[in-house]
Amino acid sequence: MLRSDNGREYNNKTFDLYLQEHGIVRQLTVAYTPQQNGVAERANRTLVEMSRAMLLHANLGKHLWAEAVSTAVYLRNRSPTKALLGKTPFEVWYGYKPKVGHLRVFGSYAVALDKTQKQKFDAKGQKYVMVGYSQAAKAYRLYDETTRKIIERRDVRFDEHWFDDGSKTEE
């Protein structure tokens, strides 16, 4: 069953056909009554609150909200819950515990190593801000404050005690 509002993204023939082909029954909620879809609304609220806290802690702008939400989802899927009897959503879906050794502090400084030929005294990497995890590869998503672009890199060194605003956390 799919419960949704009457949003246009869910109210079209293509989507109706998809649901029908996959045996999914749709239940529409009344407009402006999010309480009729309480579980999903609460999950969204949790993700928004996590994302806001991550952006504020890292002193990053709202323009990176999508990166923060994506990272919040990534972290929630690897966090145990009472509803799943102490298991993680990842573990229930894939059948094994997720690895978490690669997790890093959102918003911390990161230096992506540059493997191109460098001269002896050139920098071996460039400074970025860690904003998430790649969905396509075993890599980190890094924000370049100069170009305002996101890159993905695997070989990264982190300083999780320094943040974009120059503050330092207790070690």
What is residue 75's DSSP assignment? H
What is residue 140's DSSP assignment? E
* pLDDT level of residue 157 (50, 70, 90 thresholds): very high
What's the predicted TM-score (pTM) here? Answer: 0.79
Q: Does residue 164 surpass a pLDDT of 60? A: no
Give me the percent of the chain exceeding a pLDDT of 90.
Answer: 64
> 41-56 pLDDT, tens per residue?
889 899 999 999 999 9
Look at residue 114 in the predicted model and tell me its pLDDT: 82
Question: Average pLDDT in the 128-153 region?
Answer: 97
Give the residue extent of every domain in the chain: 1-32, 33-159
**Is there a contact between 3 and 24 (Cβ–Cβ < 8 Å)?**
no
Report the mean per-residue pLDDT for the chain. Answer: 90
Q: Does residue 33 surpass a pLDDT of 90? A: no
> 66-119 pLDDT, tens per residue?
999 999 999 999 999 999 999 999 999 999 999 999 999 999 999 999 877 778
Look at residue 139 in the predicted model and tell me its pLDDT: 98
Output the furthest CA–CA distance in the chain (Å, rounded).
66
